[in-house]
Structure 1
């Protein structure tokens, strides 16, 4: 009988140490500094266009749209190709799938785009990050949506 047939968790999921709230918080702050720096470099030239006035596209400004795209692409691409962002690298954290297989685009689109969008758009949902502090596997809502976990690298 194989391990899957016996319905035992694999040893790779037993030995995982899940990253807690504060480690993830500090890593996220580092990531925000990096994203804001990238946006600053990319968006400064737009201040010299249109005599310094913001260019609007409906309800949004061009700088707001570009800044949002950079924000979501940073988290999406870094997590897809490295399983971690620069902030997570500094603090020794890694994003894994629930079943410990390699991350798929669909997992990351739900985790990094849909999950983060929900947290940023609705003010009250910021408090849902507290799930990380009190959950057994330290999952935020965006982790639950994407079927992912954040673990400490060993």
Structure 2
């Protein structure tokens, strides 16, 4: 358990949802730029309407790169000294292991990848945070992590 004499306050479903929305806005900027470059750059070289393969290649490249950026954004920031994405930091939340320590990049990467499972099962993995005693979503349980409020 958490190695501290202070009371730990776990971050619940709604505050984590707000943090996710903030992060979605933060990530929308590079994602939009990447999509514009891939789709606009390809449109200059070829007529996308007449070449479905070029369209699919541009979309695949765009989706692949934005997915990688989203994955690295969460994994790097949550394993950094911040222990939080920009959205979590704005709301005074941080990600820890179950003892309250900073998590490694690999654990953070695993946690981020596990969010796909939480989403894939009709977002039930996320909703679990509303009913868990330590407010853990499925991906938190898989990675043995907590999201806690900071002072």
- TM-score > 0.5, shorter chain as reference: yes
Which segment drifts farther, 124-133 or 69-78? 124-133
Query: TM-score scaled to structure 2, two decimals?
Result: 0.83
| CA displacement 1:124-153 (0-9 Å, x = unmatched) | 341221110011000001101111100010
Compared CA separation, residues 108 and 48, structure 1 to 2 (3 A): same
How far off its partner does 1:102 sit? 2.5
The residue number in structure 1 matching 2:129 is: 132
Matching of residues 82-101 of structure 1 within 5 Å: 82-101=82-101
> Which residue of the partner structure matches residue 10 of structure 1?
3
Which sections of structure 2, spanning at least 5 residues, go unmatched? 49-54
* Residue from 27, 39, 52 that aligns with 1:47: 39
> C-alpha displacement at 1:112, in angstroms?
1.2
Aligned length: 141
After TM superposition, give the deviation of residue 55 of structure 1 in Å. 4.3
Q: Which residue does 2:28 correspond to in 1?
A: 36
**Secondary structure at the counterpart of residue 11 of structure 1:** coil
Q: Tell me, yes or no, if structure 1 residue 146 matches structure 2 residue 139.
A: no
The CA distance in 1 between the partners of 2:33 and 2:66, in whole Å, is 11
Provide structure 1 residue ranges, at least 5 long, that are not aligned to the other structure: 1-7
CA distance in 2, matches of 1:102, 1:20: 19
TM-score normalised by length of structure 1: 0.82
CA deviation map 1:54-78 (0-9, x unaligned): 3428xx7111111111111111111
**Deviation per residue, 1:44-103 (Å, 9 max, x gap):** 12222232633428xx71111111111111111111112000000111111111112221
C-alpha RMSD of the superposition: 2.1
Partner SS, residue 100 of structure 2: coil
Runs (4+) off by over 3 Å: none
Q: Secondary structure at the match of 2:124?
A: helix
* Matched residue SS, 1:56: helix
